[in-house]
């Protein structure tokens, strides 16, 4: 009788899960999910302005701003609003994963926090919409007086671009001694210089003909850099969930875990 009980206890103990195995798999899945968000968000945002732009009447991608596609007088503005929200949310998630990865060997620096901040500002810029699609209407002679919500949209848009640009420089510096990511330093610096120049050109005269193209080129290049970095981290063998598990609260954000 005692031998049978001992055998039953042995069999039951063998069926118990190995401690930590499920937790490890969960952390790994969440890590990869946040990296995939860094790819899906830019793709969703780009698809939103392409699809929404083609659905507008008398709309010129050459001159029209992306944010105008979310204005109340646009056709199906929810498409573009969804693009803003998807991009902003993905940047917050990607920033969290950057913090986890970079915080495993040394201090993560301000780059991940700036990426997440850019995501928050992007989301708010999409929700706080412009008053109308066009900067100037045909026959309009007096300067248009925009609403406080439109003003808030403009401020959050500028803040998102500033945070994104600063994040690129900060991350390129932090990647100097990060295995698997050091090769990204110079391309990121070059990308920041190009996109920063296009942003200054765009903002210096927002109603300039052709500014829609300048904006789209700059935004696409910037988001392309984000996609390239996320893809590199997904392929990197050193992107392990075992190395960096310090709480994300260290960079001023709450963990989604």
Domain boundaries, the chain: 27-135+145-243
Write out the H or E segment, with its range, that includes residue 100: helix 77-102
Distance (Å, rounded) from C-alpha 189 to C-alpha 198? 14
Structural contact between residues 28 and 245, judged by C-beta atoms closer than 8 angstroms: no
Count CB neighbours of 255 within 10 A.
Answer: 12
Q: Give the model's pLDDT for residue 163.
A: 95
Q: Give the model's pLDDT for residue 251.
A: 37
pTM of the model: 0.79
Q: Give the model's pLDDT for residue 242.
A: 45
Q: Give the model's pLDDT for residue 247.
A: 36
Q: Give the model's pLDDT for residue 8.
A: 52
Q: Give the model's pLDDT for residue 57.
A: 84
Write out the two tokens for 208. Answer: 């300039």
pLDDT value at 172 more than 80: yes
pLDDT digits (tens, 9 = 90+) for 122-141: 999 999 999 888 776 665 56
Residue with tokens 């803040």: 159
pLDDT digits (tens, 9 = 90+) for 27-78: 778 889 999 999 999 999 999 999 999 888 888 888 889 999 999 999 999 9
Exposure pattern of 69-108 as b/e (b: 16+ CB <10 Å)? bbbeebeebebbbbbbbbbbbbbbbbbbbbbbbbbbeeeb
Distance (Å, rounded) from C-alpha 51 to C-alpha 80? 9
* DSSP reduced 3-state for 109: coil
Q: Which residues are within 8 A (CB) of 195 and not within 5 positions of it... i.e. 6 or more apart?
A: 165, 168, 218, 221, 222, 225
């Amino acid at each position: 009788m005692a031998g049978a009980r001992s055998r039953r206890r042995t069999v039951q103990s063998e069926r118990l899960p190995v401690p930590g195995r499920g937790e490890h798999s969960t952390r790994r899945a969440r890590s990869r999910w946040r990296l995939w968000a860094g790819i899906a968000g830019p793709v969703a945002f780009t698809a939103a302005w392409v699809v929404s732009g083609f659905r507008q009447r008398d709309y010129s991608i050459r001159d029209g701003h992306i944010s105008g596609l979310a204005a109340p007088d646009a056709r199906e503005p929810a498409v573009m609003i969804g693009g803003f929200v998807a991009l902003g949310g993905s940047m917050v998630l990607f920033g969290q994963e950057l913090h986890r990865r970079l915080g495993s060997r040394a201090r993560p620096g301000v780059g991940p926090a700036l990426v997440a901040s850019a995501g928050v500002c992007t989301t708010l810029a999409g929700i706080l919409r412009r008053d109308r699609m066009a900067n100037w209407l045909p026959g309009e002679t007096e300067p248009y007086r925009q609403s406080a919500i439109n003003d808030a949209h403009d401020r959050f848009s500028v803040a998102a671009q500033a945070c994104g640009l600063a994040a690129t420089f900060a991350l390129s510096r932090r990647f100097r001694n990060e295995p698997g990511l050091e090769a990204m330093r110079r391309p990121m610096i070059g990308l920041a210089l190009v996109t920063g120049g296009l942003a200054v050109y765009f903002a210096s005269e927002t109603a300039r003909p052709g500014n829609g193209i300048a904006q789209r080129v700059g935004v696409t290049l910037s988001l392309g850099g984000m996609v390239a970095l996320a893809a590199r981290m997904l392929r990197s063998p050193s992107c392990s969930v075992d190395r960096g598990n310090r709480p994300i609260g260290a960079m001023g954000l709450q963990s989604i875990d």
